[in-house]
Amino acid sequence: MAEQKSVVIIGAGPAGLVLGNLLRAEGIDTLVLERGSREHVQARARAGFLGANSARVLVEHGLGDGMLRRGSSHGTCAFRNEDGEFELNYAKLGRGETHTVYPQHHLVTDLVAEYVARGGEIRFGATVTGIDTETATVRFQDSEVSARFVAGCDGSNGVARQAFSAQSRYVRDHGVSWLAVLAEAPQSMAAVTYALHPNGFAGHMARSPQVTRYYLQVPPGDDAESWTEDRIWAELAVRMRVEEFGPLRQGPITERRIVRLRSDVVDLIQHGRLFLAGDAASLISPSAAKGANLAIMEAEILARGLIDALKRDDERALARYSSTCLPRIWRAQEFSHWMINLLHDPVDAGPDAPFRAALRRARLDDLRESRAHQDFFAEHYVGI
């Protein structure tokens, strides 16, 4: 006979763990199934920019202590190109909101510990092999568990997404790849910095006082291992224009991987008794740091619906889950696409490429000079 749970959550990333914690706070029995080990999920270096809404969710639900102790508030970003550098203090623009920089692996570690402390059950090393979306039955390895509801939080290539094969998908490959680099080196600039250069985009993002994230645009299909430490620092120096703005603080490179800028949205993000959240619902490019923030937003909305259904026998909020989340997902996708076009010259060599490159420069000029464009940027950069 299959195990019985109220909610089975597949995936122990930010979406699954925030959802699990919110449900456990209401006394709802949950089971989290995660294919990786605890050590693996707590060591994955991913995004670290939490928007104002994400910080609110974490603090309001007793999940933000680590973030408040060790995170840092950031309210400025800078852009560099051949015309020089300008800085935007977005904390004083738009809605006056800031980011909290808190590495995702620290957040996941906090969430796992709190989930366990709240009596939640999590099984690491559990490979899910199938989901029945109508009966909410989940098969993993040689076991089976039945639930009132299943939350798929296992990413864009996970088994939960595969159960949505009949749903509409909207996919775009932006034709851009980044080399994502982690360096054991203090930040070299006070602000997140986006550098636009004929060689391609470069980005600088602080992760902690001792660790900095860098991005380098590279040709699609490039091999991360072909980028030696010397080559990485040399190219960052060129694109960051160190001769004009000063040297970079260097240190050992601890991670290098290729990131393809892709967007992938499922519509609808619910089917039968299965609901998607996080990258399982919508994969977004890292150009605007929206992935983890979308995941936390969706987890809170889904938790409210599940609590209503399980404690008050009211499924109206669950029925609206897709229609509540998808407009916000698409607005985040639109801003991410806007950022991609701002940061990169046209990737194809069509006859109108010079025209589109000139438009990109005009877009950056507007951001430098127009308060209306700055307010637009600030509101969408931090918010969902």
What pLDDT score was predicted for residue 377? 95
Helix axes 291-312, 321-343, angle to 10 degrees: 180
Contact 71, 100 (CB under 8 A): yes
Q: What span, in angstroms and rounded, lies between the C-alpha atoms of 149 and 222?
A: 42
Q: From the candidates 90, 102, 115, 381, give the one annotated as an active-site residue.
A: 381
Please answer whether residues 274 and 134 qualify as being in contact, where contact means their C-beta atoms are separated by less than 8 angstroms: no
pLDDT of residue 5: 96
Choosing from 286, 321, 337, 380, which is the catalytic residue?
Answer: 286
CATH code of the domain occupying 3-73+101-171+262-337 = 3.50.50.60
* Superfamily of domain 174-261+350-382 in the CATH hierarchy: D-Amino Acid Oxidase, subunit A, domain 2 (3.30.9.10)
- Mark out the alpha helices in the chain (DSSP H runs): 14-25, 38-41, 52-60, 65-70, 104-117, 159-162, 229-239, 242-245, 291-312, 316-319, 321-343, 353-369, 371-382
Given phi > 0 = left and psi -120 to 50 = alpha, else beta, which region is 246? left
Helix (H) or strand (E) holding 166: none
pLDDT of residue 222: 95
Is 194 known to be catalytic?
Answer: yes
pLDDT of the residue at 108: 96
Is residue 119 within 8 A of residue 12, CB to CB? The reply is no
The pLDDT, as a whole number, for residue 27 is 98
- Of 194, 214, 215, 321, the catalytic one is 194
**Catalytic residue chosen out of the listed positions 74, 204, 271, 344:** 74
The pLDDT score that the predictor gives to residue 166 is 64
Outline where 223-290 has alpha helix (H). 229-239, 242-245
Judge whether 331 and 384 are in contact, CB under 8 Å: yes
Per-10-residue mean pLDDT of the chain, 384 residues long, equals: 90 97 98 95 83 97 96 94 95 94 93 97 94 92 93 94 82 95 94 95 91 95 96 98 96 95 94 95 92 97 98 97 97 96 86 90 95 96 88
Dihedral, CA of residue 106, residue 111, residue 117 and residue 121, to nearest 10: -120
Hunting for tokens 């990485």 — which residue is that? 232
Distance CA 247, CA 273 (A): 54
**Has 290 been annotated as catalytic?**
yes
- Domain extents for the chain? 3-73+101-171+262-337, 174-261+350-382
**Candidates 5, 204, 290, 380; catalytic one:** 290
Annotated catalytic residue 74: yes
What per-residue confidence (pLDDT) applies to 355? 93
